[in-house]
Amino acid sequence: MTSFQQDNSSRYLDVHRSGGASEYSRYGSTVHKQVYIYGGLDTGPTTLTRNFGMAWGIGGWLLTYFLQNAGAETIGRLRTRVAAELTTTFASTYTREVSLAGMLRSDAFNAYVKRATGEKFLVTPQALP
């Protein structure tokens, strides 16, 4: 289960941060809060404890959808940045490399189907099983 929770003190801090609100409002501050859900390893329900006011939104974000609307110039800038930072910001490590045919072996299948945080598999289609 994914939770987005703030304790009751956050509501009072919201009033203070809202730029001069001098009293408590049952609706919280007028400052909009936005939550994005990245990825989907946890396919359980997303639970929100509604103690953060009424000015909020929640949405998903996927790189694929972003790139469909980004335009050639933006995509070019992103590719350049990724290439320049391939061994730092965008460095990746893998739990295991598995061939395309090897993905069908029960031990490999049972390992990657867990969808666990920190567990990434590199599929190498050209490799032998």
Q: In this predicted model, what pLDDT tens digit does every residue of 34-70 receive, in sequence order?
A: 988 887 777 888 888 887 888 999 998 888 989 999 9
Q: How far apart are CA 107 and CA 70, in angstroms?
A: 39
- Of 19, 21, 52, nearest to 35 by C-alpha is 52
Residue 98 and residue 56 share a domain: no
pLDDT of residue 91: 92
pLDDT digits (tens, 9 = 90+) for 69-125: 999 999 999 999 999 999 999 998 998 899 988 999 999 888 888 878 888 889 998
Q: Is the pLDDT of residue 17 over 60?
A: no
Domain residues for the domain of 99 are: 92-129
pLDDT at 5 over 70: no
Q: Closest Cα to residue 95, out of 64, 117, 128?
A: 117
75 lies in a domain?
Answer: no
Residue ending a domain, choose from 26, 46, 64: 64
Distances in Å between the Cα of 61 and the Cα atoms of 29, 35, 52, 103 are 25, 10, 22, 28
